[in-house]
Amino acid sequence: MGALERMNSPADLRALSPHELAPLASEIRQLLVERVSATGGHLGPNLGVVELTIAVHRVFSSPRDPILFDTGHQAYVHKILTGRAGNFGTLRAGGGLSGYPSRAESEHDVTESSHASASLSVADGMAKAFELRGENDRTVVAIIGDGALTGGMAAEALNNFFVAAHRPLVIIVNDNGRSYSPTIGGLAARIVSRGANQVAGELGFDCIGPVDGHSLPELEDALRRAKDSRRTVLVHVRTLKGHGFALAEGDSAELMHSTSAIDPESGTPLHSAPGTTFTDVFGDELCALAESRSDIVAVTAAMAGPTGLTAFAERFQDRFLDVGIAEQHAVASASGLALGGMHPVVAMYSTFLGRAFDQLLLDVALLGQPVTFTLDRAGITGPDGPSHHGMWDLALAGIVPGLRVAAPRDEPTLRRALREATAHSEGPTLVRYPKGEVPTPASISAVLPGGVEVLRRADRADSTSVVHDPSRMTTEEAIPDPAVLIVGIGIMAGQALDCAHALEEQGIDAVAATALWVLPVPEALVELAGRASLVAVIEDGAEHGGVGSSIEAAMSSRGVDTPLRRFALPQEFINHASRAEILRAAGLDGAAIADRIAVERSRR
Query: What 8-state DSSP symbol labels residue 87?
Result: G
Q: Are residues 213 and 312 in the same domain?
A: no
In a domain, 148, yes or no: yes
Q: What is the pLDDT of residues 119-177, one digit of tens each?
A: 999 999 999 999 999 999 999 999 998 778 888 888 888 888 877 788 999 999 998 87
In a domain, 216, yes or no: yes
Phi then psi for residue 521, to 5 deg, are -65, 125
Q: Are residues 367 and 304 in the same domain?
A: yes
Q: Which residue range forms the structural domain that includes residue 540?
A: 446-603
Q: Count CA within 13 A, CB hemisphere, residue 367.
A: 18
- Catalytic: which of 29, 58, 227, 355? 355
Single-letter residue type at 599: V
CATH of the domain at 380: 3.40.50.970
How many helices and strands in the chain, by DSSP H and E? 22, 18
Alpha carbon distance 271, 211 (integer Å): 40
In whole angstroms, how far apart are CA 149 and each of 183, 200, 327?
A: 9, 14, 13
In a domain, 102, yes or no: yes
- State yes or no: is 579 an active-site residue: no
Q: Which of 207, 236, 252 is the last residue of a domain?
A: 252
- State yes or no: is 238 an active-site residue: no
Residue in 494, 578, 572 with CA at minimum distance from that of residue 538: 494
Q: What is the pLDDT of residues 399-429, one digit of tens each?
A: 999 999 999 999 999 999 999 999 999 999 9
CATH of the domain at 518: 3.40.50.920
Q: Are residues 519 and 569 in the same domain?
A: yes
Mean pLDDT of the chain: 89
Q: Are residues 235 and 321 in the same domain?
A: no
In a domain, 260, yes or no: no
Q: What is the pLDDT of residues 343-380, one digit of tens each?
A: 999 999 999 999 999 999 999 999 999 999 999 999 99
Least confident residue range of 153-162, 291-300, 325-334, 511-520: 153-162
Strand partners, 565: 536
Q: Are residues 401 and 498 in the same domain?
A: no
pLDDT value at position 142? 95
* 44 confidence band (pLDDT: 50, 70, 90): confident
Given a cut of 70, is residue 437 above it in pLDDT? yes
- Catalytic: which of 241, 319, 415, 456? 241
Q: Are residues 491 and 584 in the same domain?
A: yes
**Which residues are annotated binding-site positions for thiamine diphosphate?**
73, 114-116, 147-148, 176, 245, 327
Q: Are residues 288 and 246 in the same domain?
A: no
In a domain, 438, yes or no: no
Q: Which of 432, 460, 492 is the last residue of a domain?
A: 432
Q: What is the pLDDT of residues 455-499, one digit of tens each?
A: 864 444 444 334 444 445 555 665 667 789 999 999 999 999 999
Phi then psi for residue 195, to 5 deg, are -60, -25
In a domain, 527, yes or no: yes
**Which residues are annotated binding-site positions?**
73, 114-116, 146-148, 176, 245, 327
Q: Are residues 391 and 472 in the same domain?
A: no
pLDDT value at position 54? 97
pTM, to two decimals? 0.88
Q: Which of 202, 234, 252 is the last residue of a domain?
A: 252
Q: Are residues 335 and 392 in the same domain?
A: yes
Q: Cβ–Cβ contacts within 10 Å for residue 265, how many? A: 9
> Which DSSP helix (H) or strand (E) runs through 461?
none
Q: Are residues 82 and 170 in the same domain?
A: yes
Q: Are residues 351 and 464 in the same domain?
A: no
Alpha carbon distance 175, 241 (integer Å): 9
In a domain, 72, yes or no: yes
Least confident residue range of 143-147, 247-251, 307-311, 384-388: 247-251
Q: Are residues 135 and 282 in the same domain?
A: no
For the chain, how many structural domains are there in total? Answer: 3
| Radius of gyration of the chain measured on its C-alpha atoms | 26
SS3 156: helix
**Which residues are annotated binding-site positions for Mg(2+)?**
146, 176
In a domain, 473, yes or no: yes
- State yes or no: is 241 an active-site residue: yes
